[in-house]
């Protein structure tokens, strides 16, 4: 008969070693914890807060230390569903809100509030109703930056003790009731029509002003041209008269020549349609006598001479 006692002992030793190896592996596995970048972990030792794990390799006491779910330390963007808000003029508007926040203290975010995301949502809704409730619809639509600033200040102050920093709050949409939207569209169309009419009237006015200014400048230039023409003609006539006068005095004409020039000038004077009355100078009659004496029969001479 074969004695199996030694084999049983060896098998027991192998099982014991295998269990011991598994235990060591489990202990080593639970003693080491790798935290990813931009995350933090809370370690509780025997049920109490012990420390906050930073990104990288961390060593724990197995079976004594317990790591809570990791917290994301990056900035988070949360869009909350539309919330009905009553304005100061008793109109219900629907407002979509987007909140940008970041966990800055993992311990406070874990122990100071049970659900910080839900708390931020509720606080945002309450603060939004308080801020918008003091504004009428027109102010709410045109004061988004002011509303965003007030919401951010209130939320950042309230969430500071939770280890959360609110960096930005944005109103994504403000939707008034359908009846109000229709009235606003009509008002906007009327305003656009009014501005178009004003611009058209201004354009017509400017066009008339420019045309009048152009006509005035043309009249001024035309008058200046006529003035300069008359001046030049007068200067030319004056120079001509002066030249004729100088020539006459230089030639020293006798009475016969002057009478002949008077006779040559009379037909030209009569050609003018405005010549109703002729004024004949006394010099002309004297000249005519001289011409008649020159070309008429000579008187008889005295025989005694």
Strand partners, 23: none
Rounded Cα distance between 20 and 12, Å, is 12
Assign residue 47 a region (left: φ > 0; alpha: ψ between -120 and 50; beta: otherwise).
Answer: left
DSSP state of 304: T
Tell me the pLDDT band of 256, cut-offs 50, 70 and 90: low
What tens digit of pLDDT does each residue of 132-179 get? Answer: 888 888 888 888 888 888 889 889 888 999 999 999 998 888 888 777
- Of 15-19, 145-149, 182-186, 188-192, least confident by mean pLDDT is 182-186
Which residue's structure tokens are 């919401």? 151
Tell me the pLDDT band of 305, cut-offs 50, 70 and 90: very low
Which residue's structure tokens are 């990813």? 36
**What's residue 297's pLDDT?**
54
Tell me the pLDDT band of 304, cut-offs 50, 70 and 90: very low
**pLDDT over 60 (residue 296):** no
Q: Cβ–Cβ contacts within 10 Å for residue 192, how many?
A: 10
DSSP state of 302: P
What tens digit of pLDDT does each residue of 216-243 get? Answer: 888 888 888 888 888 888 888 778 777 7
- For residue 147, report the phi and psi dihedrals to the nearest 5 degrees: -65, -45
Q: Name residues whose C-beta falls within 8 Å of residue 231's C-beta, 6 or more positions apart in sequence.
A: none
**What's residue 239's pLDDT?**
80
264-290 average pLDDT score: 57
CA proximity to 161, closest of 127, 121, 114, 112: 112
What tens digit of pLDDT does each residue of 13-55 get? Answer: 788 888 888 888 888 888 888 999 999 999 999 889 999 998 9
CA proximity to 116, closest of 153, 82, 69: 69
6-18 average pLDDT score: 78
**pLDDT over 90 (residue 278):** no
What tens digit of pLDDT does each residue of 63-103 get? Answer: 889 999 999 999 999 988 888 888 888 888 888 899 999 99
Strand partners, 58: 33
Pair type for strands 71-72 and 75-86: unpaired
Share of the chain above pLDDT 70, in %: 76
Task: Pick the more confident residue, 256 or 123.
Answer: 123
- Of 19-28, 55-64, 182-191, least confident by mean pLDDT is 182-191
Four-CA torsion 148, 153, 158, 160, nearest 10 degrees? 120
Between the two ends of the chain, the Cα-to-Cα distance in Å is 222
């Amino acid at each position: 008969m074969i004695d199996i006692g030694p084999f049983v002992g060896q098998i027991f030793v192998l099982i014991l070693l295998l269990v011991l190896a598994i235990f060591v592996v489990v202990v080593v596995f639970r003693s080491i914890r790798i935290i990813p970048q931009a995350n933090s972990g809370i370690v509780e030792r025997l049920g109490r807060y012990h420390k906050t794990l930073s990104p990288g390799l961390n060593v724990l006491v197995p079976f004594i230390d317990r790591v809570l779910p990791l917290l994301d330390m990056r900035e988070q963007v949360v869009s909350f569903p539309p919330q009905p808000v009553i304005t100061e003029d008793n109109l219900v508007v629907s407002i979509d809100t987007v909140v940008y926040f970041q966990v800055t203290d993992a311990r406070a975010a874990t122990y100071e509030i049970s659900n910080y995301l839900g708390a931020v949502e509720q606080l945002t809704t309450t603060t939004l109703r308080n801020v918008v409730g003091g504004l009428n619809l027109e102010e709410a639509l045109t004061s988004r930056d002011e509303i965003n600033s007030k919401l951010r200040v209130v939320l950042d102050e309230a969430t500071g003790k939770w280890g959360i920093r609110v960096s930005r709050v944005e109103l994504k949409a403000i939707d008034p009731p359908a009846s109000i939207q229709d009235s606003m569209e009509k008002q906007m169309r009327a305003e656009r029509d009014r501005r178009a009419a004003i611009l058209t009237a201004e354009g017509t006015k400017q066009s008339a002003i420019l045309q009048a200014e152009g006509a005035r400048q043309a009249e001024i230039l035309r008058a200046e041209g006529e003035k300069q023409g008359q001046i030049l003609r007068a200067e030319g006539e004056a120079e001509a008269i002066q030249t004729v006068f100088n020539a006459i005095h230089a030639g020293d004409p006798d009475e016969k020549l002057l009478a002949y020039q008077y006779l040559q000038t009379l037909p030209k004077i009569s050609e003018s349609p405005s010549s109703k009355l002729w004024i004949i100078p006394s010099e002309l009659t004297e000249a005519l006598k001289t011409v008649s004496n020159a070309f008429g029969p000579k008187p008889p001479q005295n025989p005694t001479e």
